[in-house]
Amino acid sequence: MSKLVLVRDTRFQDHLNPELHPESPQRLKAIDKVLKRTQVIAEVRQEAPRPASEDDLCVVHEPAYIEHLQSDREKARKSCRIVPLDADTFMCPDTYEIARLAAGAGLVAVEALKNPDATSSFVAVRPPGHHALEDKAMGFCIFNNIAIAARYAQKHLGLKKVFIIDWDVHHGNGTQAMFYNDPTVFFVSFHQYPFWPPDTGWYKEDGAGDGKGYNLNIPLPAGTGDRGYLKAWDELVRPVCLEYGPDLIMLSAGYDAHQFDPLGQQQITTDGYALLSERLVDLSCASGAKVVGFLEGGYNTNTLSQSVVSTIAVLNSGKLVVPGALFGGARHTGDETLVKPVTGDRDPAQVDERIADIKAYFAKYWRSLR
Ligand code: X5A
Ligand code: ZN
C-alpha cells in the first residue's frame, strides 16, 4: 500500500560540477543505494521524469535567461568543458537537458497526485532549484523546480492555494522572490541566519502588495537543533498553514541543516528529519492537502541519504518510521527501536526568543498566532 510516488532517474547523475564541488552526483548515488538497501525502493511507486517545456519554464523564468543558458550550453559543448554561470553554479555539456528534466520531474510529481491512492510524491533530482531567480542561476540552482511546479499545479490541476515549506539550511531566496507579491502561494523558509545568501531571509521580509503576510521567514541562529526546528514548526508553521487552508503543500527538502553537513552549522539529526517529516504528514492530514517534496541541498552523502530515505519512508507509510529501524547497525545510536530524545539547541534561550519575536511580528496577519 504505497502512498508516495517517487520520481527519480539515474540521468540526474550526469550534471557535473567542477571537482571537489559539494553538489556532486555522489549525492544521488548514495540515496539510490540506501533506497535499495532498506527496501524502501520496493515499497514506493516510481514514475519517470519528462523534460519541462520552454513554456513550463517561462511561467517563472525570463525567456532571455533561457536563451542565455542555451548559448552557455553551446559553449560547454564546443569546448567539452564545465562553464561557470555564477561563483558556485556550473554547466557541463549535459546540464541544460538535465536541469529541464529536473524541472519536469516536479510536474510529473504534481500530476501523480491526481491519483486518489497517492497522498504524496517526492522528486530526487539535481541540480537543485530554490536559489534560482527569474533571470539568474545561483547557489548550485539553474531552474527553480519547486516554483515551476507550484505554478503548474495552479494552472493545470486547479489547486488554488499552495503552501511551500523550505527546510534547506539556506534561505530560499529564489522561491521567495517569485511569489513575494502573491497571496496564492504562501512561502515559509527555515534557515540559518545570518548565512548565505547574505542579506536575505530576515522575518521582516513578509511579502509585498497583495502578498503581504504570505511570506514567513524563520531565521534561526547557528547551532539550532531538532528542538528549535520542531518548536518553530509547532508554534509558527502548523497554525499558519491550517489558517491559510492550502490545496497543496510543497516542501523544499534540503538536508544541509543536518548536524554532520559540511556547509551548515545547524544540529538537526536524522531522527529530527524523520520527526519533521511526521509533522508534515500531520499537516497534510489536518489540512486535507497532499504533499510534494523536492530535493534541494544536503552535502554529507551519508546523512543526506539516510535523511532523505527517512522522509520518503514517513511520507509513504503516513506515520513515523524510526530511522534506527530502517538503517539498523549502520546507524549506531544504541537503542535502534526508539527515536532518540531530540537534541538540544546550542543556545535554546536565543532560539526561543527568535521564535517569540517572529510570532509577535506575524500575529498581525494571522489570528492563530495571537
Ligand atoms: C541548494 C543549496 C547552497 C549554495 C551555497 C553557496 N545551495 N555558497 O544548498
Ligand atoms: Zn542549501
The string of pLDDT tens digits covering residues 197-243 is 999 999 999 999 999 999 999 999 999 999 999 999 999 999 999 99
Find the mean pLDDT for residues 37-44.
97
Q: How many CB atoms lie within 10 A of CB 197?
A: 15
Single out the residue of 301, 349, 295 nearest to residue 12, CA to CA. Answer: 295
3-state secondary structure of 176: helix
Select from 95, 9, 15 the least CA-distant residue to 48: 9
Residue 159 backbone zone (phi > 0: left; psi -120 to 50: alpha; other: beta): beta
Ligand 1 centroid to residue 358 C-alpha, Å: 25
**Where residue 67 falls among pLDDT bands split at 50, 70, 90?**
very high
What CA–CA distances, in Å, run from 276 to 97, 158, 195, 268?
A: 33, 28, 22, 10
Ligand 1 atom with minimal separation from the 88 CA = 6
Confidence band, pLDDT 50/70/90 cuts, at residue 332: very low
Question: What ligand 1 atom has the least distance to the C-alpha of 297?
Answer: 9
| pLDDT tens digits, 284-296 | 999 999 999 999 9
| CA-closest residue to ligand 1 atom 3 | 139
Active-site option among 131, 170, 171, 258: 131
Q: How far apart are CA 334 and CA 255, in angstroms?
A: 23
With a cut of 90, say whether residue 333 has pLDDT above it. Answer: no
Give the CA-trace dihedral at 275, 302, 167, 40, to 10 degrees: -60
Q: Whole-prediction pTM value?
A: 0.98
Residue with cell 491512492: 117
Average pLDDT on 71-86 reads: 97
Ligand nearest to the CA of 294: 1
- Residue 131 among the catalytic residues: yes
User: Measuring from atom 9 of ligand 1, which residue has the nearest CA?
Assistant: 297
The string of pLDDT tens digits covering residues 109-146 is: 999 999 999 999 999 999 999 999 999 999 999 999 99
Instruction: Measure the CA dihedral 151/157/159/162, to 10°.
Output: -40
- What grid cell was written down for 92? 557541463
Q: What is the mean pLDDT of residues 95-120?
A: 98
Ligand nearest to the CA of 201: 2
The helix or strand, by DSSP H or E, that contains position 55, with its residue range, turns out to be helix 54-58
Determine the atom of ligand 1 nearest the C-alpha atom of 299: 9
- The per-residue pLDDT for range 274-285, each reduced to its tens digit, is 999 999 999 999
Mean pLDDT within 84-113: 98
Q: What is the DSSP letter of 330?
A: G
